[in-house]
Amino acid sequence: MSSFGKIILISLCFTIGLTIGCGSDGNKMKISGTVTFSDDGSPLTTGTVMMTSSTKYVRGDLNDKGEYSLGELKDGDGVPLGEYRVSICGAYEATLPDPPYSTPSYIHAKYESPDRSGLKFEVKKDGPKTFDIKVDRPGK
């Protein structure tokens, strides 16, 4: 094998080693919770809970019990350690009403923005693993 080929092979092995060996899986925590309405405690059953930081983004879809499990690549695969701002998107009725075809939201619009929701969560190794959220309905 030529010296150029050896350099390529060593570089490839080094890159693969970094990719596999330096992932953040050891610093991820399983975070889950429920989203319920503040007025009656019933679950929000549609939408996606999203947590964003300056460098990370995680998400988890709500189920028919209002439960979610967060992940980077797929629901439930874990959340890297850090501080997050929280939002909820996609909490809309499934069918479009008559014109003007605006889709009504089940929750107050402030929850759609991580900057306006007022929801924050810090993921720590020794911190809580459940983040339950209470939301207001539109107009509250």
Threshold 0.85, pTM exceeds? no
Q: List the domain boundaries for the chain.
A: 25-135
pLDDT in tens, 19-29: 333 334 568 99
Give me the mean pLDDT over the 57-76 stretch: 92
Please give the residue that has the higher pLDDT: either 100 or 48: 48
CA 66, 52, 76, 42: dihedral to nearest 10 degrees? -10
d(CA 91, CA 108): 10
CATH of domain 25-135: 2.60.40.10
Tell me the DSSP string of 2-54: -HHHHHHHHHHHHHHHHHHHT-SGGGEE--EEEEEETTT-PBP-SSEEEEE-S
Give me the mean pLDDT over the 65-87 stretch: 92
- Are 28 and 80 in contact by the 8 Å Cβ rule? The answer is yes
